[in-house]
Copies of this chain bind each other. A is one copy, B any other.
Amino acid sequence: MAPTDRIVTENTFHIRYAETDSMGITHHSNYIVFFEEARSHYSRERGASYADFERSGYWLTVVEVHARYIVPTRYAQRITARCWVDELKSRAVQFGYEIVDAESGQVCVTGYSKHICITHEGRVTKLPSEWFAAMHEDTTS
């Protein structure tokens, strides 16, 4: 469940037809993309856009991803993707996610992803201080 003691962002969108499969439901690989879009949204909402982060020479490379599928979603369904910072270290961050039905709030998929901060040359490095500060605040507020 999304934590109540930290900042959780939400973005809402429709399931696209291309995201469904022969089972008539959203293909499970797409939730990994929804997680990513949820953290893009998180960074925009928190005033620390990932596009700027990338332009300043950094990447948050993905080292692990996990998803648990509880209830399927379908074409045209409005879903809300929640994102928060699970854990923050000087060179790493873990995000948590919850995909819920936008109308009923029913939890459909949960997951997390772990990331390491690297330079565009591939060297592991500390998160830029303004990013660290923004995300640290989010987990202690």
A interface residues (Cβ-Cβ under 8 A, vs B):
13-14, 16-18, 20-24, 27-30, 32-33, 36-37, 40-41, 44, 49-51, 54, 59, 61-69, 72, 74-76
Contacts and interface: CB of A to CB of B under 8 A. Distances in A.
Nearest to A43: B76
Contacts of A22: 17, 20-22, 24, 54, 74-75
A54 B135 CA distance: 38
B18 A33 contact: yes
B28 A16 contact: no
A33 B65 CA distance: 14
Given A27-B18, A32-B28, A33-B16, A75 B51 contact: yes
Given A32-B32, A51-B75, A76-B49, A21 B23 contact: no
